[in-house]
Amino acid sequence: MTLTNMWFSLRLVFFVLEWPALAKSSKHNSFKADDAMQMYYMALAMDLDMPSTVKPLPGPEVQADAPGRSLPNFTTLTSPQRKTLNDLSDRNRFMDTVKAIAIPRASGTPGNLKVQQHIVRSMENLCYDVELDTFEADLPGNLTSQQMTNIIATLNPDAPRRLVLACHFDSKYDKKGAFVGAIDSAVPCAMMIDLAHTLNPYINCTPVRNKNLTLQMIFFDGEEAFVKWSANDSLYGSRNLAVKMDTQMKDLNRNVTELDKIDVMVLLDLIGSKETQFRRFYYSAKYHFEHLANIEKELTVSNDIKEWDNQTKAGVDMEEKEVIKEKVYFDTTPLPAGLWIDDDYRPFMEKGVKVLHLISYPFPAVWHKQSDTVANIHYDTVDDLNKIFRIYVCEYLGCQI
């Protein structure tokens, strides 16, 4: 798929902030600066998926060294400790979690409520403090307003700092009511619940290095557009919650908002197909992305991930095994300046929250197709990522394994 095609088919926003730099960029052979400018003006003229109110995003230096926020401080788990975390994978448990979410669940439908209740129950059973953010969303055109609910699950609400993992639990509205959105985003939701489940003994029962720091999981409603992706028809849940958390002050210290408590928000989206691959967009938290990439490298060398033949017993020949080993989930190759994809992180980033946008790019082939089903989930890929995220979260929180 070329970038030009993607411009028309995806909700990809190509904002040319530094387009002359593109002319010098030889990394991306598939397009040239002239093409980029042409696409940009065409999009403006045709009012394509280009939110009119989108502002230029802060550059990497703003994200890396935002005032008042220190650089992340990761502990390093030993190999046996990492092995303990790796062994927590359970295919049946994970797939059961996905299946409970992968039903038609567009905002405002009975399926949405059912999934909402499932997520709340799952997180409460794991001792998370669960808060609901229910609000009335104005929909475009003649559509009547719609009630939506974000779910915020916090392990220790008294902790002054949070590592936030986030995803959206609504599915795209379709007239037939048959779209189940497995990668979009039942799998990311299931990954978060599975992470909470597997790490529960280590986070809840053992002293955490820094008790000032806790884990918060946010499940957004209303990410999807009802008619056509635009600034006003998308991200309903995250837009509402970012404003609320920006003004909510629950502590005695009245100067600290709920947003101020977020060290970083890691947003998971479009995960679960065999081609899942993340890129570091220029606004994305550099050190967090690099840490994930390092964990991936180390687990690959120690043969703890990308060992698909062992897991499936399918018998993979040596050549295929090499291809799997060379696969990279966290690709640190620089992207052209100004390339970004709109998503639930944006309302938070515009309010100064450090974000890490982990969305598969290019988008998987099943994106927004009826074929985005549980049958098309590539479990071995998801399991590799689950292992990487377990270590990442434990090393950030300083869990004792």
Residue 188's closest CA among 164, 219, 212, 152? 219
Work out how close the CB of 226 gets to Zn ion at its nearest, in angstroms, rounded to a whole number: 12
| Residue 55 CB partners (closer than 8 Å, separation 6+) | 350
Work out how close the CB of 115 gets to Zn ion at its nearest, in angstroms, rounded to a whole number: 15
Whose Cβ is closer to Zn ion: residue 128's or residue 179's?
179
Q: Does 184 bind Zn ion (CB under 5 A)?
A: yes
Whose Cβ is closer to Zn ion: residue 220's or residue 282's?
220
C-beta neighbour count of 11 within 10 angstroms: 20
Eight-state DSSP code of residue 226: S
Q: Does 372 bind Zn ion (CB under 5 A)?
A: no
Eight-state DSSP code of residue 206: S
Is the Cβ–Cβ distance between 274 and 365 less than 8 Å? no
* Residues 139-178, interacting with Zn ion (CB under 5 A): 172
Task: Please pick, among 269, 380, 384, 395, the residue that the annotation labels catalytic.
Answer: 269
Whose Cβ is closer to Zn ion: residue 188's or residue 338's?
188
C-beta neighbour count of 274 within 10 angstroms: 15
Whose Cβ is closer to Zn ion: residue 184's or residue 194's?
184
Whose Cβ is closer to Zn ion: residue 184's or residue 307's?
184
Q: Which helix (H) or strand (E) holds 320?
A: helix 318-326
Q: Does 342 bind Zn ion (CB under 5 A)?
A: no
Q: Is 85 helix (H, G, I), strand (E, B) or coil?
A: helix
Work out how close the CB of 368 gets to Zn ion at its nearest, in angstroms, rounded to a whole number: 6
* Residue 61 annotated in active site: no
Q: Which residue is nearest to Zn ion, using beta carbons? A: 184
Supply φ then ψ for residue 150, to 5 degrees: -85, 150
Q: Which helix (H) or strand (E) holds 331?
A: strand 330-331
Query: Which range touches Zn ion (CB under 5 A), out of 109-117, 180-188, 324-332, 393-401?
Result: 180-188
Work out how close the CB of 168 gets to Zn ion at its nearest, in angstroms, rounded to a whole number: 8
Work out how close the CB of 294 gets to Zn ion at its nearest, in angstroms, rounded to a whole number: 30
Work out how close the CB of 109 gets to Zn ion at its nearest, in angstroms, rounded to a whole number: 15
Supply φ then ψ for residue 279, to 5 degrees: -120, 155
Q: Which helix (H) or strand (E) holds 389?
A: helix 379-397
The pair of structure tokens assigned to 339 is 């390339």
On the question of a cis peptide bond just before residue 362, with omega within 30 degrees of 0, the verdict is yes
Q: Which residue has the tokens 């299946």?
A: 99
Cα Rg for the chain, rounded, in angstroms? 20
* Residue 350 annotated in active site: no
Distance between CA atoms of 393 and 344, rounded to whole angstroms?
21
Binding footprint of Zn ion, residue count (CB under 5 A): 2
Supply φ then ψ for residue 125, to 5 degrees: -65, -25
Task: Please pick, among 223, 224, 307, 342, the residue that the annotation labels catalytic.
Answer: 223
Query: Which range touches Zn ion (CB under 5 A), out of 24-32, 151-159, 182-190, 279-287?
Result: 182-190
For residue 18, give Cα distances in angstroms to 48, 55, 123: 21, 14, 43
Work out how close the CB of 172 gets to Zn ion at its nearest, in angstroms, rounded to a whole number: 5
Whose Cβ is closer to Zn ion: residue 172's or residue 279's?
172
Whose Cβ is closer to Zn ion: residue 172's or residue 261's?
172
Which residues form the catalytic set?
223, 269
State the residues that interact with Zn ion by CB under 5 A. 172, 184
